A and B are shown apart, each in its own frame.
Chain A
Amino acid sequence: MLCGGIQAQDDSSLAEVKPVPVLTGSTAYFTRVNGGQVQDAPTVSPLLLLPIGDHLLIESKAGLSETFSKNAQGDYAGTVSYGMAYAQADYITKYATFTGGRFTTPFNMYGERLAPNWIRDLQGTPISVPITSGAALGGMVRGGLPLGTDKVHLNYATYFSTANTNHILATDRSTGGRIGFFLPGPRLEVGASFQQVLQQDRPHAVGTHFEWQPNAFPLTLRSEYTRSSGTRGSGYWVEAAYRLSQIPHMGATELVGRGQQFFAAANLAPAVAKKLGPLGVDTNEGDWGLNYYFGSDVRASASYGRQFALGRNANLWTIGMTYRFVMPMWPTGGGL
């Protein structure tokens, strides 16, 4: 009854909130040393949010980065890269959101939730993430709803994508989806994903994900597993992040560790393995990192990793900062 009363009053007051366009996103600067090769990379990733009426949201995220490293002459040279992560229109209803445009493929949890550099606990992307197509151009239905009780929430997403050969906006013709069960009490989520590529050798991929934040400790445990039927192999990663909030004066510090294994597909031709890059060779990797939060928007990060790949072992060092920005694009009328 209490919740019902709260809900009824809440609806009327929320109707007065008229959302405004917002520009958000992040900037970052990281220095990476990968097997003795130094790279400096400033990046900016702006995200424009444009709400229309009570149900519609247009969201568009781009990325721009420049990577500096020493060339053969010993001079620093920069390489610019840019792209459109997503540009989508969402129509939101109580139990389903209908999305059209270019969007992040709903497969496991890393690509949609953890990829932004101000969110990810370690800056290196897990090796197994690119096994599946990361972007789609088409339509998607997704949503989250309680399963008859607030103790278990179901979240789901299903999509289809057309092929696009534009070098910036490339996507595969594919379909798939994800289903997850989230228990808000113990803060535990488990889920499974499927993707079927509908072009070339038509590989499919399956994945599972897991995330748990025990209430008793400031600890986050995450894991993903992905297996492809094609040439892109299989792999998993397990990550733990511990915020030192129980230690005086250390609450802004977070310790992170990640272990991962990647298994290349069997019987790969040397030319195919070379073309696949990191997905063409068996790899084991362990990473340890430290994050320090300056307020809620600024974070300094450093990490060390050791990579054991067939024929090539390497030390991986990363140090840098991220900054998440949020600004209105229309008068907000004040408040707070």
Chain B
Amino acid sequence: MKLKSFSAALVMMVVVFALASAKTRDAKDESAKPAATSQSTQHDQDMRLEGEKRFHSNCSRCHAAPPKFPPRMMGTIVRHMRVRAMLTDDDMRYILRYMTQ
């Protein structure tokens, strides 16, 4: 009986935490968009397009697009994926730039 209660509580906790987190992330993404757009230059646009292309070629092969994190977090995540997904050096740089803009 205790195990069932523990199990049910764990499920509820996971679901509530996950849904709350997803909602917060979406809100953060929306608020970040105008600032990023206003600072776009032609160079940034070229970088973004190339980074987006490489993101879809490499990362989207396995998983859905993650939310954009602060650059210092994304630097770690992209370094991890450089190893795991065997990204090329250029892929890593373009994707890092794309995911931090």
Contact = CB atoms under 8 A, between A and B. Distances in A.
B93 to A, nearest CB: 5
Contacts of B4: 68, 76
Given A17-B75, A19-B72, A296-B67, A42 B14 contact: yes
Interface of A: 2-3, 6-7, 9-11, 13-14, 17-22, 24, 27-29, 40, 42, 49, 51, 57, 59, 66, 68, 76-78, 90, 92, 94-95, 97, 99, 112-114, 118-119, 142-146, 150, 153, 155-157, 180, 184, 187, 189, 211, 213, 220, 293-299, 321, 323-326, 328, 330, 332-336
A213 B25 contact: no
Given A144-B87, A297-B66, 18 more contacts: A10-B94, A10-B97, A14-B97, A19-B75, A49-B77, A51-B75, A57-B79, A57-B80, A59-B80, A76-B3, A92-B79, A92-B83, A146-B90, A184-B53, A296-B22, A298-B18, A298-B21, A321-B15
B14 A323 contact: yes
A42 B86 contact: no
B25 A295 contact: yes
Chain A interface mostly helix, strand, loop or mixed? strand
A298 to B, nearest CB: 4
B83 A211 contact: no
A154 B74 CA distance: 25
A135 B26 CA distance: 37
Contacts, number: 184
A220 B18 CA distance: 26
B3 A97 contact: no
Contact of A335 (B19, B71, B87, B94): B71
A114 B14 contact: no
A19 to B, nearest CB: 4
A90 B32 CA distance: 33
A162 to B, nearest CB: 21
Nearest to A22: B76
Nearest to A113: B62
A10 B21 contact: no
26 contacts: A2-B46, A14-B93, A17-B74, A17-B100, A18-B75, A19-B73, A27-B14, A40-B7, A49-B76, A49-B80, A57-B76, A59-B83, A78-B7, A90-B83, A119-B63, A142-B86, A144-B86, A146-B88, A220-B61, A296-B64, A298-B22, A328-B73, A334-B70, A336-B32, A336-B70, A336-B71
